[in-house]
Amino acid sequence: MTGTGTGTGGAASGSAARSRPGSRSAASPRAASTGAEGPKAVDPKVGSPGDESRKSVFEPAEISRALSRIAHEILERTSGAGDVVLLGIPTRGVPLAHRLAQRMEQVEGNKVPAGSLDITMYRDDLRLRPARALGHTAVPAAGIDGKVVVLVDDVLYSGRTVRAALDALGDIGRPQAVQLAVLVDRGHRELPIRPDYVGKNLPTSQREVVRVLLTEVDGEDAVLLGENPALASENSAPPGQDRGELRLGEPRPGGPRPGENRGKRRQGRPAPGDGTGR
């Protein structure tokens, strides 16, 4: 590319190039950094800050197999599920409970009662969040007294939802035992709660979001994993700088000034024990 005289001293470099045949004019530093076409535009399709991109971590076939496995595990542990009652935690725990009941009925030939358990008024964050609409609690006609109640939910996270469900269950009756079945266990527990049946253990970070989609509610089956854009923007470091990394020339806290060695004595200061008496 021949020089066009852009930048400081461009005319001089252009005349020098014309005076020497076969020589090429050198581009100015500004032109070399940005190019003659100017800075490249950012492609909006390539994860711009604030966009939440989710990836599928649990396909429909895998979800179906996981539910079938959980159903067989419940039947095995409860000796045929003769006294089992499945209660789903709204919203997506309810269709999961009914799917498990259908699978268990197909294996044993006996109908397994399933219902729903609303926990809205038992949550410990009612004062921190806006008012919520009350859900529906549907308990089988036989009740839960003396039964083995299996609570069903889509994602197990801090354990606070399950704690609220236990409190709500205590106001309905006195079951023989309470068990917990979840489709996804993402960790980060805040209460001593552990599931009895797990479809998938999914290691996650605190800034990631797990979203479960079910056909009965969302029109499809999937488990999606992505970053929370709000947390990602708060925790992100400036461009070109890692978290905790010092910029070039910036002194470390409590360290020597740039260009000064910590162990080096300044000029004119006597060394210890040099006979000066200080």
Tens-of-pLDDT digits for all 278 residues of the chain? 444 444 444 444 444 444 444 444 444 444 333 343 443 333 333 333 333 578 999 999 999 999 999 999 999 999 999 999 999 999 999 999 999 999 999 999 999 999 999 999 999 988 888 778 888 899 999 999 999 999 999 999 999 999 999 999 999 999 999 999 999 999 999 999 999 999 999 999 999 999 999 999 999 999 999 998 776 555 554 554 444 444 445 555 555 555 555 555 555 555 555 554 54
The set of residues, in sequence order, having a beta carbon less than 8 Å from that of 164 and lying 6+ positions away, is 119, 122, 123, 124
**Quick check: is 33 in a domain?**
no
- What is residue 198's predicted lDDT score, i.e. its pLDDT? 98
Strands (E) across 51-196 are located at 54-58, 84-88, 114-116, 148-156, 177-185
- What is residue 45's predicted lDDT score, i.e. its pLDDT? 31
The CATH number of the domain holding residue 173 is 3.40.50.2020
- What is residue 127's predicted lDDT score, i.e. its pLDDT? 84
**Quick check: is 107 in a domain?**
yes
Which residue from 148, 147, 93, 141 is spatially nearest to 117, judged by alpha carbons?
93
Q: Which residues of 95-130 are buried (b: 16+ CB within 10 A; e: fewer)?
A: bbbbbbbebbeeeeeeebbbbbbbbeebbeeeeeee
Phi/psi for 251 (5° steps) reads -70, 150
**Quick check: is 35 in a domain?**
no
Please give the Cα distance from 85 to 101 (Å, whole number): 9
Structural domain count, the chain: 1
| Other C-beta atoms lying within 10 Å of the C-beta of residue 156 | 25
- What is residue 273's predicted lDDT score, i.e. its pLDDT? 53
Pair 172, 144: CB distance under 8 Å: yes
**Any idea which residue has 């989710």 for tokens?**
54
**Any idea which residue has 């509610």 for tokens?**
217
pTM above 0.75, yes or no: no
| Token pair belonging to 242 | 């890692």
Pair 111, 141: CB distance under 8 Å: no
**Quick check: is 53 in a domain?**
no
**Quick check: is 68 in a domain?**
yes
**Quick check: is 100 in a domain?**
yes
Range of the domain at 65: 61-126+133-204
**Quick check: is 114 in a domain?**
yes
**Quick check: is 18 in a domain?**
no
